[in-house]
Structure 1
Amino acid sequence: MWFQLLFLCFIIIQTDGHRVQENADSDPKASDDAPRIVSPSGSFLGSWMETRRGRRFEAYRGIRYAEPAVGEFRFQPPKLIHHYEDEVDASKEGPACPLPATKVEIDEDCLRINVYTPRSNTTNLLPVIFYIHAGGFYVMTGRSDLAGPHYLLDRDIVLVTINYRLATLGFISTGDAFAPGNNGMKDQVAALRWVQKNIKSFGGDPGLVTITGCSAGSRSVMLHMVSPMSKGLFHRGISMSGSATSKAPVPHHQFHLAQKQAILLNCSHTNTSEEIIACLKSKPYRDLGYSLKGFFDHFNSDPVGLWTAVVEPDFGQERFLTMDPADAIREGKKHSVPYIISQTRNEFFWKALYVVKNESLLKTMNEEWERIAPVSFMLPPGNSSAAVRRLKETYLGDRKLVNDEATADGLGKLYGDAITGFPVHRMANLMCRYSTEKVYYAEFDYIGNHSHYEDPDTKKPIGVAHHDDLIYLFTLSYRFPTIEVSDSDDSQMVDKMIAIWYNFAKYGDPNPHNSKIPELSTLDWPAMTPIDRKYLQLGEHFTVREKLFEDRFQVWEELYPLQY
């Protein structure tokens, strides 16, 4: 059941490292004429890659952007590298941050940045797309096997992907000076600062940076918009299927997770922050990474979410988050930039299928609904008993759960809305009211040849799952084949998605401009407003609709009211 939750993670675990490297280095002559770049921080040796349309571009991978956060620097904010004494070998992948993987190199010295640029094909400075990877803040990486550049680099953009510390190593927060929290987010800030200093040498425009992300990366984008540390480091934002505004305010600490980590690693004293931090500093990073399984409930490997950014108490440190994101948005204490917000049609629907098709899980959920539902649907403490009764009535007609289509549909919508749908709805509605820049809202509604959930019998997609939009933006060689250039619907979707990202990164507006982009010829995407809550349904065609899933989200608004 553990792998059913972390379906992304188990693919990493099973990935053949040799295959990943072969896919990443598309030009066998890369070492013969390897590209080099000299920036204000130092010189870098890269390699050549090729897009799906055969365009050659430069790749600089595995660059340390911050000093290794090891030893006494574990659980400390990152220290940005300002100068490299020797030429940096950036010709191959860097390690992933500690997580439960066996065939991918992991290391605590993992704060690495990758830069992909077509600078040899143009003399102009290009828009920069800065991608923050998904994975719940506890798995995944920015490596090219999980965020391949081979689609986006057909456009004139510079793509940056990063690693940041995960789980306990990146997000431990005890509410005091021992671990104020948010080091994983501060890693992202350090990477953005590195970009500001160096990206011009790679052909990128430091005044035209678009921060993008999916899931945890999407939450990260929103958090940067309200963080005082991120001011001036970016100029547009794209958030896909994740929100920093949800059913309850952001906490000030997660001491319970720090304590849980200490117990999992057999620390003898777990009552105080000082004891916990001292013990965890002595543990091997692999033990921290591989202990992830122990954090999840035995039922359906719930909850999906664990670690989060926190509102940091002030102990004299540079604070990433100083107030709740919803309050910051409403009070105008944010960095307003043009913003695209989206979610997929079905999000976490597949979680329900594991329940209804498993007799034991189905029986347990029926008998212990009031215990299980608050965990599975990540509900705030307080009125959870009343809330889960209301949710069961709304989504399941207050009926007993059985193995049929009606239960699977209702429970699937409940999982999806609880984890992603409603939080994204709340973020879009806040931002369209209080941002001084345009906000564009979208539903990704395309079923192609592959999905992050495929029917185990037919091996075919049956919905638009969480992360499915990424299939048409990045080559995901850890799991899916490259979508070759053709007249297929999948190939056309790749062209549409990268055209939207390119146009938005360049102009701050996804709609067609002076430049002719045929993929966008039928696009007329209105900005969302509080009164006219229109969104783009992005399927085989562009369709403008209104009030995305608001009939379903009404119950959440009543259970967890917020003054918009």
Structure 2
Amino acid sequence: MRKFLMRQNIKLFRRMMSSHSNPKVAVKQGTVVGSQGVLPGGGDFYSFKGIPYAVPPLGNLRFEAPVPLEKFSENELDCTKERDISFQKEVFSNDLVGSEDCLFLNVYTPKLKSDKPLPVMVYIHGGAYLFGSGNSDMYNPLYLLEEDVVVVTLNYRLGMLGFLSYPEGGLVGNMGLKDQALALKWVQENIHLFNGDANNVTAFGESAGSACVNLHMYSDNSKMLFHKAILQSGTSNMQWVMQMFPSYKAANLATNMGFKDTDPKKVVEYLKDPKTPPEAMLPYMLKGMTEDERRRELPIPYGPIIEPASPNAVVTNDPTQDMFINNKLDIPVMMGYNSNEGIIMVANAIKRLDDYENDLPRLIPRAVNIDIDGEEGKVICQQIREFYFKGEKVHKKTLGGLSDALSDYHFTLGAHSAAEIHAKHQHKSPLYFFRFDYDGDLGFYKKLFNFQHLRGVCHADELFYIFQTHFQDLPHKEDSQDTKIVRQMCRMWTNFAKYSNPTPSSNDALLDFKWNPVKQINGKNDEFVLDYLNISKESKMERQPDKERIHFWKDIFKMWNKDFVKPKL
């Protein structure tokens, strides 16, 4: 007890002292003044929050590519606290928060000096391209820092401000992706000043953020800005990733707002006018979705688009075609998903179960090359009912089957397909695949939606074993199973950043297992076997995750598309 109290007193003293310690770092744009803090294990760390990496995208810069910031407005910029996030409707409160002036990043480092610079991990947050931020209320990387890496989180433009596209009116789109690319470029130019290694940068993200990382991996203009990638529940071939009918949505937005002129250039002028604030656009954002998107419960109106080639373009080719270009990638990749991603979809679907019961074709992926309302659709719907619902109706007693169906529809099929394509075509890029199946106390969303009775791990719940959050203040018990998983996850993620291998040593007592890469396929007729790490209470290597469900859909794809890995998106 005495030793425990001594440790607590030392931590308290160091926190008191750290409040008077403001480290300064001179970067290309000026000097940033940060804060010193204490890690959970007692070591120091340094944070520099709210660093602007671009000119505020205001006025004529709305809907334009970000402009690099040449110089701070002050000689010494106060970076002890975070600045604004992208304008959005806050997902829990529905309050309007943030602003257009949102292009800031945060740098965390455990050491400002060391014999060798530290590996860098740049995190791109998810949120359906609509909400979220890289700020510490959700993404506090203290456990990652304890593994001796530098972590950068960032904000980028969201919703219509980040992804509206109307090429006919001169609005190209992909502003949010270009924000991310500029932030990665800022890291290349400045991270060495924070003791980070600009030659060893890992980009990682979750959900929409993961899909963005995947798009950057194939981009000729941004792939050189990082050297490894971690994809959590998001690959560029998932059917929610790319925006459908962008010009229709842009025109529809203006029309719904009461603008009468249909000339594309006039529409863009109206939407760019400072007299048209984003607050006026937001209520009509979801109304711009197509009927098919509404039917399929894909509430993501805006997202990346394929754009013309330019010096700052990110997506110039169909990503589902880029994946098939042999050896297009030459970086190590980690990829995976959670064991019951669909729980987050069930939270909305439970309000309208009759819609699913009366319209099972909405559960047929758009990638299946059929008319879902035709005779072929009826055949597949009967197969879906038998397979997922054991022949019963869609109701509260069959929520487990609906959750599985939604997991596969939105995430699992895309992840498996991406892994198979990678194994066949990217032989210079080792791939480590995971399935996160630890259903512990730190998981937040499953408890929030009150679906503890459903087995598996909800979408995004793995994040709480990598980052600390301000809104989930659980007691920290060093000897708990949850803490063990936190330590294992952060060790594997940072090992990958350091060594391109999540389990490089057989002498690590924390990781008593070996994570092997996916076997590459060289012959056309070779069978694909997905070796993966099942991350759970006792993590271990297994084969063919969710095998029965994947085979169910493989048979359907082979019937109507001829090939599982070549879907029509």
Give the superposition deviation at 1:438: 0.6
Instruction: For residues 197-256 of structure 1, give each alpha carbon's deviation from its aligned partner in whole angstroms, at most 9, with x where no partner exists.
Output: 000000100000000000001101110111111132111000000110135995686112
Asked whether the equivalents of residues 149 and 474 of structure 1 are also in contact (C-alpha less than 8 Å), the reply is yes
1:543 to 540, 543, 553: 540
Which one of 76, 87, 91 corresponds to residue 98 of structure 1? 87
Any unmatched runs of 5+ in structure 2? 1-13, 522-527
Q: What's the CA shift string for 1:238-292, capped at 9, x where partnerless?
A: 00001101359956861122123223433233x3431321121121123334554
- The residue that corresponds to 2:301 in the other structure is 306
2:70 to 56, 78, 82: 82
**Aligned residue in 2 for 1:477:** 470
Does the 8 Å contact 1:99/1:292 carry over to 2?
no
The 3 A distance-change label for structure 1 pair 167 and 104 is closer
Rate the CA distance shift 1:383–1:238 in 2: closer, same or farther, 3 A.
same
Write the letter of the residue equivalent to 2:543.
Answer: E
**What does 1:34-113 align with in structure 2 at a 5 Å threshold?**
34-84=22-72, 86-101=75-90, 106-113=98-105
| Of 158, 183, 188, the match for 2:180 | 188
- Secondary structure at 1:128 match in 2: strand
1:457 Cα deviation from its structure 2 partner = 6.0
TM-score, scaled relative to structure 2: 0.85
For 1:209, the equivalent position in structure 2 comes to: 201
What residue in structure 1 maps to residue 5 of structure 2?
none
2:421 corresponds in structure 1 to: 430
Q: What secondary structure is seen at the aligned counterpart in 2 of 1:209?
A: strand
Shift in alpha-carbon separation, 1:458–1:81, aligned structure 2, 3 A: closer
Listed one character per residue, the Cα deviations across residues 362-393 of structure 1 (whole Å, up to 9, x for unaligned) are 333333444x557xx66689623257545533
Q: Which residue of 1 aligns with 2:483?
A: 491
Using CA pairs below 8 Å that are at least 6 residues apart, which structure has the higher relative contact order?
A: 1
Give the equivalent residue in structure 1 for 2:255: 263
Partners of 2:108 and 2:152 within 8 A in 1:
yes
Task: Report the aligned-residue RMSD.
Answer: 2.9
1:84-142 alpha-carbon deviations (Å, 9 max, x no partner): 36222111011110101376851101011100001247342000000000101111100
The AA in structure 2 aligned to 1:150 is L
State the 1:53 CA deviation. 1.8
Q: How far apart, in 2, do the equivalents of 1:166 and 1:203 lie? A: 30
Summarize deviations over 1:374-419 as a string: whole Å, max 9, x none: 7xx66689623257545533332184524253x3122111111111
Describe the shift of the 1:111–1:176 C-alpha distance in structure 2 as closer, same or farther (beyond 3 A): same
Distance 1:240 1:304 in 2: 20
Distance in 2 between the 1:390 and 1:322 partners? Answer: 37
CA distance, structure 2, for counterparts of residue 252 and residue 396 of structure 1: 28
CA distance in 1, matches of 2:311, 2:377: 40
Deviations 1:518-542 (A, max 9, x none): 2223224233434442111111112
Indicate yes or no: 2:511 matched with 1:520.
Answer: yes
Using the TM superposition, give the Cα deviation of residue 468 of structure 1 relative to its aligned residue in structure 2, in angstroms: 1.1
Deviations 1:424-447 (A, max 9, x none): 112111122222121111100110
2:235 counterpart (243, 247, 251): 243
Asked whether the equivalents of residues 432 and 518 of structure 2 are also in contact (C-alpha less than 8 Å), the reply is yes
Q: Which moved more, 1:126-135 or 1:395-404?
A: 395-404
Q: CA 1:121–1:206 in structure 2 vs 1: closer, same or farther (change >3 Å)? A: closer
CA distance 1:463–1:533, shift in 2 (3 Å):
closer
Task: State whether residues 226 and 333 of structure 1, in contact with CA within 8 Å, keep that contact through their aligned partners in structure 2.
Answer: no
Which of 379, 383, 403 pairs up with 1:394?
Answer: 383
Report the Cα distance in structure 2 between the residues aligned to 1:273 and 1:239, rounded to whole angstroms: 36
1:5: which partner in 2?
none
Alignment match, 2:345: 351
Aligned-partner Cα distance in 2 for 1:177–1:317: 20
Q: Which residue does 2:410 correspond to in 1?
A: 419
Q: Which amino acid aligns with 1:557?
A: F
Residue 502 of structure 1: CA displacement?
1.0
More deviation, 51-60/280-289? 280-289
Match of 2:277 in 1: 284
Question: 8 Å contact 1:181–1:253 — kept in the other structure?
Answer: no
SS of 1:535's equivalent in the other structure is: strand
Distance 1:307 1:563 in 2: 25
Between Structure 1 and Structure 2, whose CA radius of gyration is higher?
Answer: 2
Structure 1 residues 126 and 362, CA gap change in structure 2 (3 angstroms): same
Equivalent position amino acid for 2:251 in 1? Q
CA 1:266–1:369: 2 relative to 1, 3 Å? farther
CA distance in 1, matches of 2:544, 2:120: 32
SS for the counterpart of 1:79 is coil
User: So what's the TM-score if we normalise by structure 1?
Assistant: 0.86
